[in-house]
A and B are shown apart, each in its own frame.
Chain A
Amino acid sequence: MIEQNLSLLLVVIPLLAAPVTAMLPAGRLPWLLTLIVSWTCLVIAGWQLSVVIDGSVISYELGGWAPPWGIEYRIDAMNAFVALILSGIAAITLPYALRTVEKDIPRHQTSLFYAVFLLCLVGLLGIAQTGDVFNLFVFLEISSLSSYVLIAMGEQRRALTSAFQYLIMGTIGATFLLIGIGLVYAETGTLNMVDLNLRLQPILDHRTVHTGFAFIVVGIALKLALFPLHLWLPNAYKYAPSVVSVFLAATATKVAVYIMLRMVFGVFSNDFVRITPTDQMFLLLGIFGVILASVTAIYQTDVKRLLAYSSVAQVSYMVLGMGLASVLGITATLVHVFNHALIKGALFMACGALVYRVGSSQFENLNGLGRQMPWTFSAIFIAGLSLIGIPGTAGFISKWYFMLAALEQQSWLIALVILLGSLLAVVYMWKIVEVMFLRPASDNVASVKEAPVSLLIPMWVLVIANIYFGFYTELTVNVADSAARLLGVAAYHE
């Protein structure tokens, strides 16, 4: 029974656990249940990936209604890969959550907090699992609504305005996606992704299909924080509770990247991307995104905001990979989805540890802290190297594949932008190093101790994963490559 319902249990277990968590008494019990659930999800997601890694597909019919009429969960290598990233990040974030949530969230709200956290996980995992575009929209709303709540739970009152800003932008994005899905549905009469792909091919030149496509792409781009639609992101990450910043930074935009890939290449097609100016648009926005967001990151005076702008830049790399529209480009995008989740997870965890001890992530409060908190500081340093793309780290692998994809098409401009982005990353990561290590310590930090062990262990697991996946690339690259091929992306040839 378990193996037959494997891909569904991944969504239903956290869905059942969320209301149970909400009814538990406040304290550590809700945390414990959430921890168990997220580790169970990780096991299931790993199992699922091991089933589909050979290129097979799991198809699950909800309610016994055969697709394309019923809702279908359709798991191929890409879905399973994204689901593994999501549940892995959730499983590693929860041990970290215990101490920071006790500090950030009032005690009587803890059970509700973890219930909302689980709902957010349900939404994200559901997006990864489903093969139905309307079901995808519903899960997107579940994850978005719960992330607005999670962000609004931040300590400062500014968290409310940031969450509201995100709510407005996110709702516009979701509405656009829904309008697009509606138009495409009107043209084809189906919502199943595989079926949509088949039925769209003969009518790809219809105006309605083009309009629907435009709505879908802009809607997802808002969720993706694609430059120039990224303005909601820095504040949302800055004012959210530490653990929420970690979780959302490592998962939310990655899932949006997945949706973009699935809709643009899976539902429409590689040819459609090439006959419309979609690939050039992705390249253009990607180039501007990498450079301008990195430059903006340099001028930040707050670690969290700096990392948030860096996230916008890194997402722009993924968009560059999509713009290249080749197997190598999509492989690079998917590899970077994985590696960036590791990098940003580690960096935001370190940042959360600073906030835990100092109460602020402003540069002026962090002077000379590197000597007081050596483990946190070295985590930032190593994850920073990975972000820049130094050989021997996970970040290098992604940059390497982006380079390969760009050079395959002789796009020297793209190659140059990728290098320039890395150089700018050196500058903004160096700013953190300079503040934390080279500046003299101010008096108020003299008594600051190293972060608690329960924060350091998850952080260092991710840091070590950054190094591990810099050497052993079988999992990431092979899965990403077979996912890109299953998506129907053609290899590049002139």
Chain B
Amino acid sequence: MSDSVMNLDGQEVSFEKGETVLEVARRQGTFVPTLCWDERLDPYGSCRLCVVEVEGRRMPASSCTLHAEKGMVVRTGSEKLRRMQSTLVEMVLSENPDDECPRCRDLGSCELHDLATEFKVGRNRFLGATSNASKDDSNPFLLRDYDRCISCYRCVRICDEVEADHAITMTGRGWNKGIATAFDGLLMGSECTLCGQCIYTCPTGALADKKMVHQGSIPGEVEVTRSVCPYCGTGCSINLHSRDGKMIGVTPVLDGPVNEGALCVKGQFGFDFVNSEDRLTMPLIRKEGELTSVSWDEALDYTSARFKSIRADHGPKAFYAIASGRAPGEGAYMLQKFTRAVMNSNQVDNCSRG
């Protein structure tokens, strides 16, 4: 046997050094449920949903923390494992409030409810005390409804391990655990940069995009369009979420080559201008000191005439163009092309470069 072959559900499968059994299984397309796992984070082993049977071990092991070893014989998905996973999902559901999570309506299903659907279980058994840990946080972007928290600590870990902001922490012990900033203050008073990574990794509706949550009344399905964030030169890959042609939110893209799922506060939340009522929808020309709406033909004729005369009178170097980070990438491209090819100037810039 090769040094890097193990047996997964009766199949010989190869693995790479350092790979966990969960990673091997997922690569094979094997269904292994998880709630505390996020590929960007160190293995944590708290939800225990990913348990597998390992030959030679008396008890199942959490596959997210189990490194693949030569000759290891692992079984996923036995009847017993499925029963225990199903019980665990039911137990987790029992922690949450007994109402329909409004986030499902606004944001689509979450990981927890996907698992509930997969295991065909609901909030019927193991009923008792619920989390009751909602926090009133006045920040404009991040909803913190810890009533729906399942204490996987993905938010804490992404804030520590990926963002290195260390804004939030796990508090208390056992059932009385919680998630808080230092001294339990508001996010705005902490090291939080409102980057939104915590809401993106949250497997339930406990953390959510406040702005997106309230868009549920807009009819139609959520449409997702992949794009690149225009705000700065980093070039983070983003998904633009829209309903009925109206943009409702931005999320980072995990396989974005630059950001690998990260995003900053501007990229994630700074898109109010898109649907702003203050946006110009008609060209304006100042006539006798007053900005006056004009037709596109008039505006283009006027501009073209002025550009030509400026270039004739003062040369191409009199022309300088700067594109806005809020304009689409295509617009920025056209502007530099125009500046160089038409105005013969190299003086072109974009506020995103700064």
The answer to whether A and B assemble together is: no
On B, residues with C-beta under 8 Å from A are none
